């Protein structure tokens, strides 16, 4: 399976879905290499993820997160392909 390394930026504008957000991150923990959270910057929280996964895996993660009310998500993946042997 071809994998890519990338970043996922998450902006949490409303706290009502934070528990669901954390559950989704746990479900996709196998592709998350690192996580950094910045609490309460004004009225929002910011989370940055470093991910390594296929386009489909990263898309599944960002799609689920993007469907949550009050959550904004953007991702960027490198063009470098990591092949597993």
Tell me the two tokens of residue 50: 């470093």
Question: Which residues, in sequence order, are bridge partners of residue 40?
Answer: none
- The confidence score (pLDDT) of residue 44 equals 87
- The confidence score (pLDDT) of residue 41 equals 64
Measured distance CA(40)–CA(52) in Å, rounded: 27
Which residue in this structure is represented by tokens 């479900």?
27
Classified as helix, coil or strand, 76 is strand
Which domains are present in the chain? 2-83 (3.30.70.1150)
pTM over the 0.85 mark: yes
For 4-51, what is each residue's pLDDT tens digit? 999 999 999 988 999 999 999 999 999 999 999 987 767 889 999 999
Helix (H) or strand (E) holding 23: helix 18-27
Q: For the chain, how far is it from start to end, CA to CA, in angstroms?
A: 9
Q: Exposure of 29 by Cβ count < 10 A (0-12 exposed, 13-18 middle, 19+ buried)?
A: exposed
28-37, 43-52, 53-62, 75-84: least confidently modelled range:
75-84
């Amino acid at each position: 399976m071809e994998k890519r390394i990338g970043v996922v930026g998450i902006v949490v504008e409303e706290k009502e879905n934070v528990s669901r957000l954390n559950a989704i991150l746990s479900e996709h923990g196998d592709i998350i290499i690192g996580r950094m959270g910045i609490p309460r910057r004004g009225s929002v929280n910011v989370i940055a993820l470093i991910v390594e996964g296929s386009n489909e895996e990263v898309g599944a993660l960002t799609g689920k997160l993007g469907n949550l009310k009050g959550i904004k998500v953007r991702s960027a993946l490198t063009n470098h392909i990591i092949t597993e042997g």
